[in-house]
Amino acid sequence: MLRKKRWFFAILTLLPVLAIFAAVRLYPIGETLRLSLHKWDILSRNKPFIGLANFQELMGDRLFQEALLNTTIIAFGVLLITIPLALVLAALIHYRVGSRLGPFFETAIFLPHVVSLVPAAMAWKYIFDARLGPLNAFLSLFGVPAQSWLFDPRLALFCVIVLCSWQALGYAVLIYLVGFKSLPVSLYEAAKLDGASGPQSFWFLSVPMLKPITLYVSVVTLVSGFNVYAQAFVLASDAQGAPGRQVRVLVLDMLENSFRNYRVGYAASEAVVLLLIVLLFTAIQFSLLRERGRA
C-alpha cells in the first residue's frame, strides 16, 4: 500500500518534467534525424523521403566544405592554445595558492568566460581594428606594418581563434585548479626529497596525473569550438557588413540553408554531421578513459 503510494508520487511528479523534456529535447533531436533524410523545403508541399541524398549533396557543397574546414581549424586552434596555456597557468596559480593576488588572478582569467559573447566579440573587434585598434598600434612599435586583421580571411580566422581561446581559457584553468587540488601532496614531497625541481615535478607528476582532466577539458573545448557562431558572426563580417561571411562556420551555414534558402531537410543533415562529430569526440574520450582504467 505504502509502496504503491510512493510509486504513484514519483510518477505523478516526474511525469510533467518528462513531458517537457520529451517535447523540447527528445522530439526535436528525433526530428533532426528524420528531416535529414527528407527533401523538406518550406516552400514545397511535397516533402519526400530521399534517403542519404542530402548527405551526398553535402559532400560536394563548396560552402559546406569551407564551413567545415573553418570550424575544424577554429576548434583545434582553440584547443592547441587553451590546453597548454591553461595547464601552465593553473600550475602557477596553484603554486602561489597563498598569494594575496591569488583571487585576482583567478577572477581576471575567469571573467572572460562569464562575459556575454557579443560584447566580448565587440571588445576584440576594436583590438583587431585595422585603423584604430591597439594591436596594430602595439605592433607598429616594433616596425610591423598595419594588418587588416578582420578583412583578410586567414587573419580573420586567427582572430576568431584568439577570441574563442580567450573565452575558453578561464573554464579550463578552473577545472585544472580543481584537479591540482585533488593531487596527493605526499607525492610532491617525495619528489622534492629526491631532488626533483618544480618544472620536473610539473612535467613528470602533474601532467600525467591530470590526463583524465586534460581529456575532459579537451573534449569540452572541441565540442564548443565546433558550435562556434556568435564570435564569427560579430567578428568576421565581410566588407559589406554581412555578418560572419568572412569566416563561414558550420552553424552559420546551417542557419543560412534553413532560413535563407528554406531548405530545412538539408540543414538538418548538416546538424546530423555536427552531431556525429560531437559523438566521435565523446566516444574517443570514453574509450581512452576506459583504457586508462584497465591499465
Partner 1 sequence: MTDSAVLSADDVAEGRNRRSRRRLLNLVIDGVLLVFSLLMLLPLVFLVSNAFKTPAELLSWPPTIIPANPTVSNFSAVIADTPLLVWIGNSLLFAILSAIAILITSAIAGYILAKFRYRTLTVVFMIILATAIVPFEVYMIPLYLEAQSLKILNTTWGLLLGYLVMSFGIFLIRQNVAHSIPDELLEAARIDGAGELWIFWRIVLPLLRGALGALFVLAFFQAWTAFAWPIIVATKRESYTIEVGLALFQTGFTVDLGRLSAASALVLIPSFTVFVLLRRNFVQGVASTGLKE
**Measuring CA to CA, how many Å separate 235 from each of 5, 217, 226, 249, 267?**
57, 25, 17, 12, 23
SS3 112: helix
Stretch that binds partner 1, among 46-54, 57-65, 98-106, 188-196 (CB under 8 A): 98-106
Residue numbers 169-208 binding partner 1 by CB under 8 A = 169, 171, 174-175, 178
- Type of residue at 70: N
Applying CB under 8 A, among 203, 259, 280, 290 the residue interacting with partner 1 is 259
Question: What residue has cell string 556568435?
Answer: 230
> Which residues partner with 41 through β-bridges?
263
> Minimum distance from CB of 214 to partner 1 (Å)?
11
Among 1, 4, 5, 194, binds partner 1 (CB under 8 A): 5
What gap in Å lies between CA 82 and CA 12, rounded to an integer? 46
Nearer to partner 1, 17 or 295 (CB): 17
- All three cell numbers of 125: 573587434
**Residue among 53, 115, 183, 288 that touches partner 1 (CB under 8 A):** 115
Q: Which stretch binds partner 1 (CB under 8 A): 52-60, 147-155, 201-209, 260-268?
A: 260-268
Cell triple for 120: 566580448
* Only segment of 46-54, 72-80, 200-208, 239-247 that touches partner 1 (CB under 8 A): 239-247
Q: Does 137 bind partner 1 (CB under 8 A)?
A: yes
CB 74 within 8 A of CB 160: yes
Q: Is 264 in the site for partner 1 (CB under 8 A)?
A: yes
> Binding of partner 1 at residue 242 (CB under 8 A)?
yes
d(CA 206, CA 211): 9
